Each structure stands twice: as structure tokens, then as C-alpha cells.
């Protein structure tokens, strides 16, 4: 599975084509799907462009995207730093009426089990985000781990060898625990393409988009999300590299 991560917490200072508004997200979602994306991950924004979990902002983004690409699964972030920040962000989540298909939950965040329980209650899928071995150990110890939709191995290291080492250590924890869930592997910035290529090699799910980085494998700047997705599809087709 190839997932497009359209914006993340980035701003237009990072890339002028970064989509923020519902209309922009809908436009980019359509282009990303046409380029080969099978699922989407977005960070809804409020009127000022700030990340938001408020019900109206989440609904506006989801409805616009679903009108543009009907039937394509859409996930959103529950990042600790999204206003109102920390545990307080659970309050707007409880008020959602238009629901995402899934959310990403970072196991490094202290209220991750609470967010997971809330999503299970709401019948929203969970992508369990693991950036470290400690995150992986925390996940496999949770009774709710098996109820997740998938595991995200999210590499933050910017040196390829170090990033691959962490990725394989996390995968080893999952194997040892017998956790049988789909696994998506992705990096960011300097490791976006190395982790994409390793995911291809291992037969894992992949993620590409401006949230994770704006450069193509040759170091040139991509025009937009769609160019990143087309490049990922081409690399996977030839076995990467």
C-alpha cells in the first residue's frame, strides 16, 4: 500500500505547494490518487492555517477530500502538539461527528493508550506510530495492540545506516511479540527515500509526501505531492534505486 502524507505540520515556508485548506487538500488528494496513492494521511487546519482537531475543521477537510476521491481511506494525526495541546486535545476528538477512517497515534506520547481506547470506542482505525524500540515495546505490551489497523515504523534519524538499524530493531520487537499487523515504514527528509526503498525491498507498506520531505531521490525539489507519488510508484515498479 502506498499512502500519501499531504501536509503534516509543515508550513508554506517549507514548500509553496503545501496544501492547507480543505479545497487545497481535496485538490492534492485527487492528484495524489491519480499518481498512485491508495490511502491518504492529512493534518486538518483551522481558519488561520494552524493544525486543528476541532470538529468543524476536521469535518471540512474530510468532506472536501471525500467529495474529491470517494472511497479512498483518509487518516488524520492526533499529534500531542496540535492545539489545544496535550491531553486537552482529547476533548475536541470526543466531539467529532464526521469521522476519519483512521488516525495515527504516536506511542511516544504519554496519553497514547487513552487515545487508542477512544478511537476503538468510536470505531476509528488506529495507526500505531513507533519511532523507537521503546515505543515498540510499549505497543506490544498493550492489550489493545492487536486491535490496531497497522503499525507505522517512523524513522526520525537523518543518517541512513542509523535509520535502517532502528527500523530493523523495531521490526524485530514486533516479530518477537508475534504482533501480526500490516507494517508501514517511512522516513523523513534525508531518510524519506532510503526508508521508502527499504519498504519496497521488505514488501512493507510505504508513505511519501510533503509531510515527510520535498526532495526527489536525486536531491532536486519536487513540484508537489503528485510528483513525489509518481516517483515512488516508478521506483517501486523497478524495485527501487
| pLDDT at site 238 | 86
Q: Which three cell numbers, joined as nine digits, stand for 226?
A: 503528485
| pLDDT at site 241 | 59
**pLDDT tier for residue 240 given thresholds of 50, 70 and 90:** low
pLDDT in tens, 182-230: 999 999 999 999 999 999 999 999 999 999 999 999 999 999 999 999 9
| pLDDT at site 163 | 97
- The superfamily CATH assigns to domain 2-237 is Aldolase class I (3.20.20.70)
Q: Please classify residue 179 by burial: count the beta carbons closer than 10 Å to its beta carbon, then call 0-12 exposed, 13-18 middle and 19+ buried.
A: middle
| pLDDT at site 228 | 98
DSSP of 172-239 = HHHHHHT----EEEE--GGGHHHHHHHHHHHT-EEEESTTT-SB-TTSPBPSSHHHHHHHHHHHHHTT
3-state secondary structure of 104: strand
Sorted by where each begins, the domain ranges of the chain are: 2-237
What does pLDDT average to over the chain?
97
Q: From CA 125, how far away is CA 128, in angstroms rounded? A: 10
Q: What average pLDDT score do residues 98-126 get? A: 97
| pLDDT at site 162 | 97
**pLDDT tier for residue 3 given thresholds of 50, 70 and 90:** very high
pLDDT in tens, 13-34: 999 999 999 999 999 999 999 9
Sequence-separated (6 or more) residues with CB below 8 Å from residue 50: 83
Q: From CA 104, how far away is CA 76, in angstroms rounded? A: 6
pLDDT in tens, 55-88: 999 999 999 999 999 999 999 999 999 999 999 9
- Grid cell 483518509 — which residue? 74
| pLDDT at site 239 | 80
Dihedral angle, C-alpha 233, 206, 4, 228, nearest 10 °: -40
Confidence check: pLDDT of 178 > 80: yes
| pLDDT at site 124 | 98
| pLDDT at site 218 | 96
Contacts 24+ apart (CB under 8 A), 136-142: 136/107, 136/169, 136/170, 136/173, 136/174, 137/173, 138/107, 138/112, 139/107, 139/179, 140/173, 140/174, 140/177, 140/179, 142/113, 142/116
Amino acid at each position: 500500500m502506498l499512502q500519501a502524507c499531504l501536509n503534516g505540520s509543515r508550513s508554506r515556508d517549507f514548500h509553496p505547494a503545501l496544501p492547507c485548506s480543505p479545497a487545497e487538500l481535496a485538490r492534492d488528494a485527487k492528484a495524489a490518487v491519480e499518481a498512485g496513492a491508495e490511502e491518504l494521511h492529512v493534518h486538518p487546519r483551522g481558519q488561520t492555517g494552524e493544525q486543528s482537531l476541532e470538529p468543524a475543521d476536521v469535518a471540512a477537510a474530510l468532506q472536501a477530500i471525500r467529495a474529491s476521491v470517494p472511497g479512498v481511506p483518509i487518516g488524520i494525526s492526533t499529534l500531542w502538539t496540535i492545539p489545544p495541546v496535550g491531553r486537552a486535545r482529547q476533548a475536541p476528538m470526543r466531539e467529532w461527528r464526521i469521522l476519519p477512517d483512521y488516525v495515527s497515534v504516536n506511542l511516544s506520547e504519554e496519553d497514547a493508550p487513552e487515545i487508542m481506547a477512544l478511537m476503538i470506542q468510536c470505531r476509528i482505525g488506529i495507526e500505531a506510530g513507533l519511532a523507537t524500540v521503546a515505543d515498540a515495546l510499549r505497543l506490544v505490551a498493550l492489550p489493545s495492540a492487536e486491535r490496531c489497523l497497522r503499525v507505522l515504523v517512523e524513522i526520525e534519524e537523518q543518517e541512513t545506516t542509523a535509520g535502517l538499524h532502528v527500523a530493523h530493531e523495531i521490526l524485530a520487537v514486533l516479530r518477537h511479540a508475534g504482533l501480526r499487523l500490516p507494517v508501514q515504514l517511512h522516513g523523513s527528509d534525508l531518510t524519506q527515500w532510503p526508508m521508502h526503498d527499504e519498504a519496497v525491498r521488505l514488501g512493507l507498506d510505504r508513505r511519501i509526501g510533503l509531510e515527510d520531505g520535498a526532495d526527489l531521490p536525486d536531491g532536486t525539489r519536487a513540484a508537489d505531492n503528485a510528483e513525489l507519488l509518481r516517483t515512488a510508484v516508478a521506483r517501486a515498479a523497478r524495485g527501487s534505486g
